[in-house]
Amino acid sequence: MRTLQVAISDMEYGMFGIPSEKLNFSNFIDIVSKQLMRQNLNKTVSLAEKYNLSTMTMEEITNEVKLNAATKKIKYQKERSSLDNELNNYLVDLSNFTFDRDEANNYE
């Protein structure tokens, strides 16, 4: 078994609630994981409050997410349709193009 030494500040030591200076790796990972989950939860709550999700029901949030997804899909389809039309117009123009070898020789 190998030993790993990690240096952390007193503040981090207290923030993570580390019970002793010697831990097995599994306990260390559990402690760090819990702290990261706590930070992510706090960030999630802040964002929910910022965007007024904290006042909405789960059904309202679900509907909002579905609406957002549908809006993005429609926007994508419109952009795709526009690109398809441009490509088709280009191909039509290209199919109407004729090459006159004699005329091309006049430009040399």
Query: Tens digits of per-residue pLDDT, 90-101?
Result: 877 777 777 666
Please say if the pLDDT value at position 41 is more than 90: yes
Tokens of 22: 């010697």
Q: What is the reported pLDDT for 67?
A: 92
Q: What is the reported pLDDT for 37?
A: 94
Q: Residue 44, CB half-sphere, CA atoms under 13 Å: how many?
A: 6
> Residue 52: which residues within 8 A CB-CB, separation 6 or more?
none
Q: What is the reported pLDDT for 99?
A: 66
Write down the pTM of the prediction: 0.50
Query: Tens digits of per-residue pLDDT, 48-107?
Result: 889 888 888 989 989 988 998 999 999 888 888 888 888 888 877 777 777 666 666 666
Q: What is the reported pLDDT for 43?
A: 95
